[in-house]
Amino acid sequence: MIAGAIIVIVIAASGVLMMRFRKRWLAKINIAFTNRITGLFAGWLPGFGILTHGGRKSGKVYRTPINVFRASNGFIIALTYSSQSEWVKNVLAAGGCDLETRGKKYQLSAPKVVGDPTRRRFPIPVRIVLKLVGADEYMELSTR
């Protein structure tokens, strides 16, 4: 249990540093290494999820660990690397994706990117981290 907590803290700290400086080469390191570790627990840990989506050019199926939260009509996803991330473009182009969070699977549709400098739809601790990393966009998806 302690090892799991340490891993979460290290991932969060490295993510904050990477996102704060928004260097694409750091994002590539995150994709190559951190996502593999996060992917081990993201499907069942609160505040995390695994998004399954297809590449808009390659058609390849991707599984992307994300920060996700329940909303009235579906879910919201923090866009810590901005709406220019490849997975965001893939989900928008496809008009939806699949999500696994807290051990449950959902089919999501009607993706919409929303800019919100207040970050008010997220829990307060998440708002603070998002502000630190300069992230003020999220994706809204419907379960209907």
Q: What is the mean pLDDT of the chain?
A: 80
Query: Lowest mean pLDDT: which of 15-19, 42-46, 65-69?
Result: 15-19
Q: Name the pTM for this structure.
A: 0.74
Helix intervals (H) in 1-143: 2-21, 24-29, 35-38, 86-94, 124-133
**Average confidence (pLDDT) over 62-68:** 88
* Banded pLDDT at 13 (limits 50, 70, 90): low
* Banded pLDDT at 103 (limits 50, 70, 90): confident
CATH of the domain at 58: 2.30.110.10
- Structural domain containing residue 14: 2-142
How far is 94 from 76, CA to CA, in rounded Å? 17
Number of domains forming the structure of the chain? 1
Q: What is the pLDDT of residue 23?
A: 46
**Average confidence (pLDDT) over 20-35:** 56
